[in-house]
Chain A
Amino acid sequence: DSGVTQTPKHLITATGQRVTLRCSPRSGDLSVYWYQQSLDQGLQFLIQYYNGEERAKGNILERFSAQQFPDLHSELNLSSLELGDSALYFCASSVGRADTQYFGPGTRLTVL
């Protein structure tokens, strides 16, 4: 157990819908990262937050957005869902902006 928690574990929804994935970092960690893992794209970095502020952005679609709250938990919002958005979404956390990242258990999103 890495200490990073994610909810829900599984999410099944329909195309066009909107979902919110939640992540709580390890105690004391200020950075949160979101990654998407799909069969065809592998593990891809989406976005990083540090102490409430966006720090880095990767291949994140405009339909996706994220934020980190004052209690340091983070939410990833996915809207206008498409079949191709079906994937495992992982959150990771680290102490600072440039430290080892520890991954949460992931949320499996299925878009039907």
Chain B
Amino acid sequence: GENVEQHPSTLSVQEGDSAVIKCTYSDSASNYFPWYKQELGKRPQLIIDIRSNVGEKKDQRIAVTLNKTAKHFSLHITETQPEDSAVYFCAACTINAGNMLTFGGGTRLMVKP
């Protein structure tokens, strides 16, 4: 089955700096890669996703890049703000083969004001 590794497990940045979180996946059939933000005790909230026919996607301060050859995708957050502090999860799945998400272990992002 799919295995997703996520790094780093914790990340501390100053407000205004950029943050990068990286994930690798094992199953070359995976073709959908969402990122979720989870605040303490709350639901995972989708912040951006990318499908395998696209190499990069941006939404304001958030961008995701995908390298299918290396089986690697990354989340980039620019101009970080204290409200970006949360745990971020990457996930991978094969659409039309069950759509079950396999999650990475999570990254705790702390943005210091």
Contacts and interface: CB of A to CB of B under 8 A. Distances in A.
Does B bind A? Answer: yes
A22 interface: no
Interface string A79-112: 0000000000010001001111111111010000
B67 interface: no
* B32, B45, B99 — most chain A CB neighbours (10 Å): B99
Interface in B1-57: 32, 34, 36, 41-46, 49
A42 B98 contact: no
Interface residues on A, range: 20 to 34
A90 B41 CA distance: 11
Interface of B: 32, 34, 36, 41-46, 49, 89, 95-96, 98-103, 105-106
30 contacts: A2-B43, A2-B45, A33-B99, A33-B101, A42-B103, A42-B106, A43-B89, A43-B103, A43-B106, A44-B103, A45-B101, A45-B102, A55-B98, A55-B99, A56-B98, A56-B99, A56-B100, A90-B43, A90-B44, A97-B99, A99-B99, A101-B34, A101-B46, A103-B36, A103-B43, A103-B44, A103-B46, A105-B42, A105-B43, A108-B41
